[in-house]
Structure 1
Amino acid sequence: MPQQRFPKVEVLSVAPHFISFILSETDTSMANAIRRIMIAEVPTLAIDLVEYHENSSVLNDEYIAHRLGLIPIRFTPEGSMRRVPGGDCHQAFLPHRECVCYDRCPRCSVEFELDVNFDRVNQTRPEQERDLPLTVTSTDLKSNNPLVAPAHFLNEEEQDESHDEGISIVKLGPGQHLKLKAFARMGISKEHAKWCPVAVATYRFWPIITINAEACGMLTMEQKQELVDACPDRILELDEATGNLVPAENAYEMATFTEDLKTTQEAMKKRPEDEDFVSVVQSTDRFVFSVESTGAMDAEDILLSSLRVLKDRLNYLASEVENGLK
């Protein structure tokens, strides 16, 4: 019988747009399954259909529709400050193909309206800006659902650095007019990348750093400092009190490239068969994840939603196996 495991999650840092955590007491198959689910199977909302009433801008209809589809659409459940689990829209909306409506309805889609006329807006602009092109942004999209809106910025820092009020769609000049209706539907990025909730979802193996105190005792201080400087990640440092090599404070989060360290200590050995001064190996049951959101969901919620999807998949597999054995 294989050894039963109980995976654990330890959060290192968390922000609305980013989360870093350690997944332990499991193996690579589970780590990769969670990563792939976060990328491809977490449901989100994205604009999937656009109806044009007028488009006299410099971009054709298909180009603007493509840009609209890539705008992150955020769902915020009504109620408490802490969402349930925030931004996870699968409980509020049905996939379009599963809805019983003929075309579309509030249960499976959200309607956005956009109507920007350069000449009309230009009359209300400051005089010094009236000769400049007018930028149509995601803030011009008006939703018919108060719980759904475009995610204009990833965080406050990005908002402060931006020159526009939201995500740019197109620029309009004198006499130009853009009027359309856009419909957002729920989907997963396995179908199309516009439904992907993550910008980055990666993991790496937790490093196991072992320092051979007996072998390091044979080195001079210059050689120890050379070992410290050899690794670009600076995973080693010299203890000021004892002069011994010790792992750096953030060594376990930074040890990604250790080939230079290995080459340096090989040159220091008197004999090739001597033991290494420092060894760095990859753990097979401990992984460091980094997840960055696109803005459609908080990073923490992406993780929670991916675990829900994984649980549903495993329950379905278990039921199919049970039915097959009957």
Structure 2
Amino acid sequence: MPQSIDDTRRHVQVLPERIGAVAGSEFPGHYPGEDHSWNLQKFKENLITSVQRLTPSTIEFDLVGVDASIANALRRVMIAEVPTVAVEEVYVWNNTSIMQDEVLCHRVGLVPLKIDPRSLNYKPSQQAHPHETDTIVLELRVRCDRKPGVDKSEKDPRKLYYDSNVYTGMMTWSPSGDQARKYKGKEPKPVDQDILLCKLRPGQQIDLHCFARKGVGMDHAKFSPVATASYRLLPHIIIREPIPSEHQEKFKKCFPEGVIEIENDQVIVKNPRKDTVSREVLRHPEFADKVSLNRIRDHFIFNVESTGQYQPQELIPEAISILLSKIKSVEDGLDKLFSSEGQAA
């Protein structure tokens, strides 16, 4: 399997009449001289995945050889169907801050929690009582007081008061049942400890009881494990005629830096991956019919940013597992349908 973008490009077959096509019209006879009947062996040979960039929170990878519908299904599953854990219910025992109860609860509900969703079950029903297997309890108890001995001319609230700012790091886990043993060394907590929830002044306090449960993004955006999950098609730039020497620098500046280079008095496409498909070059009449801007229809460049519940490289296998389970459900349903029809006949 190719490991670099150059290797990936060498494995992609680009036919002129197919460049730019995006829709899934893969059936025999649609393209002259091409047979698009399904062939598992051919699909395996053309399927390429290649990780281009990986950071603690983001991943950029290439997916080559699939239809746009498959790539989009993978993106949508990552956004809406990979489960996470978020605060679902908040019991406000005391809130004398300036922030209304419902606003404060909403802010707490949107806090990403570092809890492995695979360790929890879904709550059986809305009416079911919380259980240690489906609920994590977090508490937020903060009171603001004035610090003694501070100069009266001091204006900085952080020097004047204790706990004038309420951060997510002040949320503490309250284990129940067997959870203390189950999560030993992996205590549930917010992903980011420095998210500002509220500001307090002397005498004001907050006392909340938060129930976190497992859910998916299609139910509420707070359960989505990704901040962004998007893809774009790999740009394909074809220089149809040599660019004259006096126009080469101008041609190069029509593209983002690194896309076009001049080598041996020739203009070459160095890295089309950096192109933003701005089409700036088409504004200049001297380049008319000299360049063609296209995109490779089955080469998808994915950019995924995790909100912290999963490592970014874990999101894709999770999404694929969910897609496979959907396919299995359809197969089981079809088997039951055909078996019932056979019995009726």
User: TM-score scaled to structure 1, two decimals?
Assistant: 0.80
Counterpart code for 2:252: V
Q: 1:228 aligns with which of 252, 256, 263?
A: 252
Q: Deviations over 1:34-87 (max 9, x none)?
A: 111111111001001001111101011100110001100112xxxxxxxxxxx4
- Compared CA separation, residues 279 and 183, structure 1 to 2 (3 A): same
Distance, in Å, in 1 between the alignment partners of 2:228 and 2:150 is 40
For residue 321 of structure 1, give the secondary structure of its aligned residue in structure 2. Answer: helix
The SS at the match of 2:218 is coil
Q: Is the 8 A contact 2:136 2:213 kept in 1?
A: yes
User: Does the aligned pair in 1 maintain the 2:227–2:305 contact within 8 Å?
Assistant: yes
Alpha-carbon spacing, 1:123–1:131, altered in 2? closer, same or farther (3 Å): closer
Q: Deviations over 1:251-287 (max 9, x none)?
A: 23222224112332xx126xx7xxx333231111110
Matches within 5 A, 1:95-134: 95-97=122-124, 102-119=128-145, 122-123=146-147, 129-132=158-161, 134=164
Counterpart in 2 of 1:70?
A: 110
Question: Which stretch shifts more, 110-119 or 294-303?
Answer: 294-303
How far apart, in 2, do the equivalents of 1:125 and 1:246 lie? 71
Equivalenced residues, count: 283
8 Å CA contact retained: 1:113, 1:141: yes
Identical-pair percentage? 27
Tell me what 2:223 maps to.
195
- Within 5 Å, give how 1:17-32 maps onto structure 2: 17-32=57-72
Matches within 5 A, 1:220-299: 220-232=244-256, 235-239=259-263, 242-248=264-270, 251-264=271-284, 267-268=285-286, 276-299=289-312
Give runs of aligned pairs for residues 33-52 of structure 1, distance below 5 A: 33-52=73-92
Deviations 1:132-167 (A, max 9, x none): 571111111001354321111xxxxxxxxxxxx611
Which one-letter code corresponds to 1:137 in the other structure?
Y
- 2:32 aligned partner: none
The answer for the alignment partner of 1:158 in structure 2 is none
Q: Is the contact between residue 74 and residue 319 of structure 2 (CA under 8 Å) also seen in structure 1?
A: yes
Secondary structure of the residue aligned to 2:131 is coil
Name the CA distance, whole Å, in 1 between partners of 2:148 and 2:228: 41
Distance 1:3 1:124, change over 3 A: farther
- Report the TM-score when normalising by structure 2: 0.76
Q: How does 1:108-187 map to 2 (within 5 A)?
A: 108-119=134-145, 122-123=146-147, 129-132=158-161, 134-145=164-175, 146=183, 147=186, 148-152=188-192, 166-187=194-215
| CA contact 1:50–1:181 (8 Å) conserved in 2 | yes
**Do the aligned partners of 1:43 and 1:195 also contact (CA within 8 Å) in 2?**
yes
Closer, same or farther: CA 308–126 of 1 in aligned 2, 3 Å: farther
Q: What is the DSSP-based 3-state SS (H/G/I as helix, E as strand, rest coil) of the residue aligned with 2:337? A: helix
- CA spacing shift, 1:36–1:24, aligned 2, 3 Å: same
**Separation in 1, partners of 2:159, 2:276:** 53
What is the rounded CA distance, in whole Å, between the counterparts of 2:73 and 2:254 in structure 1? 35
- Unpaired runs of 5+ in structure 2? 1-36, 176-182, 340-345
User: Offset at 1:234?
Assistant: 5.1
SS in 2 for 1:169: strand
**SS of aligned partner of 2:237:** strand
Cα distance in 2, alignment partners of residues 60 and 104 from structure 1 = 26
Q: For structure 1, which runs of at least 5 residues remain unmatched after alignment?
A: 76-86, 153-164
Which range moved further: 142-151 or 64-73?
Answer: 142-151
Q: Contact between 2:277 and 2:293, CA under 8 Å: does it hold in 1?
A: no
Looking at structure 1, the residues matched to 72 and 230 of structure 2 have their Cα atoms a distance apart, in angstroms, of 9
Q: Which amino acid aligns with 1:311?
A: L
**What root-mean-square deviation, in Å, do the aligned CA atoms of Structure 1 and Structure 2 show?**
2.3
C-alpha deviations, 1:281-313, integer Å up to 9, x for none? Answer: 111111000011122222212222111111111
Query: Offset at 1:318?
Result: 1.6
The question of whether the paired residues in 2 share the 8 Å contact of 1:232 and 1:257 is answered with: no
Asked whether the 8 Å contact 2:87–2:211 carries over to 1, the reply is: yes
Q: Matched residues in 1 for 2:65 and 2:150: separation?
A: 61
Determine whether 1:2 maps to 2:2. Answer: no
Q: 1:114 to 1:125 in 2, by over 3 A?
A: farther
